Structure 1
Amino acid sequence: MSDRQGGAGLRQSWQSSQMLLVLPLALIAAITVVDTQAAEDIHLGPALVIAPALTASFAGPRTTGAVGALTVAAQTVMGTVRGGLPTANNIVQIITLSVLSVLVVLYCAIRDRKRAQLARIRSVAEAAQRVLMWPLPDQLGFVRIASLYLAAEDEAQIGGDLYAATRAFDGVRVLIGDVRGKGLPAVGEAATLLGAFREAAPRSPALTDLAEALEQSVQRHTADFEPPEEAGERFATALLVEIPDGRPIVRLASCGHPPPLLVSQGRTLTVPALHPSPPLGVQPTRPGERVLYEAPFEPGDTLLLYTDGVIEARDAGGRFYPLAERIARWTDAPPDTLVQRVRRDLVAHTGGLLNDDAALVALQRTSAEHGRHHGRIIATDALRLSIRPGSPTG
């Protein structure tokens, strides 16, 4: 938010408070006039406490205190007009209004202090998110990018889901992952995985090499920081994506992560995930165990990466969010529009209550240097399965 936008917001808030202040002031005036004109056995003074209580809902302690003092003055005027101030009833009402006004002012002060603390916590969380998980650019090379992050914990901006993208080896490499746990307790593991990806992505010739580097980093982190009571329970799923500049293909290496969705020629397909490797941190992998997949990825195609917090989100009836079914409605949407539509639909599906962190990354190839590619899926054990571009694969 810019300084100009922030200043405009403050001015608008101040003007709104000034307009709302008319209500308690009018209430004080109306009660005072009616009480002084009413019969002797009718006393409206106790209703004056509504004014400072109402003011506390939109104003700070100073304004609330001023309205409280005005109610005490109004009670004094009413007591004087109706037969003299020294009566026991008038004195009790004045003392009661004074005490209640002071309590309301104290409430306002405590509330504003909590709000300031919460604002500082939010700013720290936002700063931490920018440091740990840099915002993805709108475009890298020949790839348009849009992303979404929804944290499950209230007021949290970061959690156990993560994503990152970088240029490497004349192409774009993308990571999306999900560490065990959610919210702030999972931030340490997420930071480790992100740091390892940024360090190893430009140095690993193949995605399988990059996956090995991430595995080693997670294993080191687990050995150093895993509590004894959680032995064997720290792990992370990850999906590595590589989109080379010169060929209309996409390469993927899955470490126990849900397979992405491919939107191509107006159809939504599930990219095959044949025997994905175990999640990172579960067990050391043997040479050749990790598998590399290759599939067509033509200009205009969109690849949607997601974490299980999206597909496992439930509605009030316990039904999972049907991501593939909903994506089929928006096959012509650009990445940023697609992500925002999923966000609105997911929030509506869950009623705004997520049980787990959720992340989405949409990747769309904008152009390629060569013609149409009849892709294949490549495994490290030399298994080759041909597929027809545009045919359902899952």
Structure 2
Amino acid sequence: MKITCIMILFWFLSMLLLSDKSQTSKTGIIYNFTEKNYSLIPADINEDVQVLDLSYNQITLNVTDIRALQMYFLLTELYLIQNNVIILLNDSFGNLSNLQILNICRNSIYIIQRDAFVGLSKLKQLYLCQNKILQLNADIFVPLKNLKLLNLQGNLISYLEVPLLFHLESIILYGNPWNCSCSLFNLQNWLNTSNVILENESITTCSFPDMLKCYSIKTVPYEAECHSKFPSPITEDLYIHFQSISNWTFNNSLNNLTINSEHESLGKSWAFLIGVVVTVLMTSLLIFIAIKCPILYNLLLSYNHHRLEEHEAETYEDGFTGNPSSLSHIPYTNSEDTTVVFEQLHSFVVDDDGFIEDKYIDTHELCEEN
């Protein structure tokens, strides 16, 4: 009997120990470093940490932070709320294969590179709320094969491709400036035909155009022509352009000093080139004016005469016909000179024989009279 009681007591104690171990394994090791003014993720934390809260710090999630995160491969929850994260680089969480909750809300994220979430095959909840995201490529969600909750609330998203998330259960999209044109039709169709729940549907409304502002993106009416169209290729081109700008910005952040110096020299060279071009053009213009102006002035002088007015013509004629004695005062009484002058003076006078030509006189009758 005593042996039986001892066995029962031993079994009970072992069960208690096992339950404590399971409880600790479920809870895991928790580190709370909120409001510590950290600029980097600490690298001296216990590698068995499972819940790491680094909210309300100055962390940027740069290359050094990513290297530190690689050591905590047992992490199941990571909180980076209200830090200084701007870019999510490729493989930012590559070694966190056990991560289930990732919260990066209230940062300034506007670039998410295509392979930022690679390795997060067990992630179930992703919070990207209240950032500055303009656009998202659907390919970035491909590694998230078990994602159930996606929170994109409070960003700058106006268009969203249908995310390739087959296990997604709920999505939060309110607080974005949605453009409810034909390009958003596929997203609406996916929300209505899949099992995904649109959280806060009543306040997830259109911002453009004005006539559709009162509609939810899930219920906005589309014209018949939109039902046969895919998202506008212009939007895709803009996204590609945005991605190229994003890549350039990322490279700029990594090589800040070099690129700044290059930009300064480039700016100075452009200013110098513009100055040279303007100087050459102005010099050419001055030379052209200097050469052409005398010619133009002489041309104007050569045409500086006008027809005589009627009273001027009479005065000019009277000066020669009314006072013939004036010819006697002309010096050099050479006969040849006098003849030339006479011919010049009377070159404008029409010969008059005293008869008036009448076009109505019949020449035949005139001949008979003669």
Q: Greater RCO between the two (CA within 8 Å, min separation 6)?
A: 1
TM class by shorter-chain length? Answer: under 0.3
Higher strand share: 1
- TM-score, normalised with respect to structure 1: 0.23
Q: TM-score, normalised by structure 2?
A: 0.24
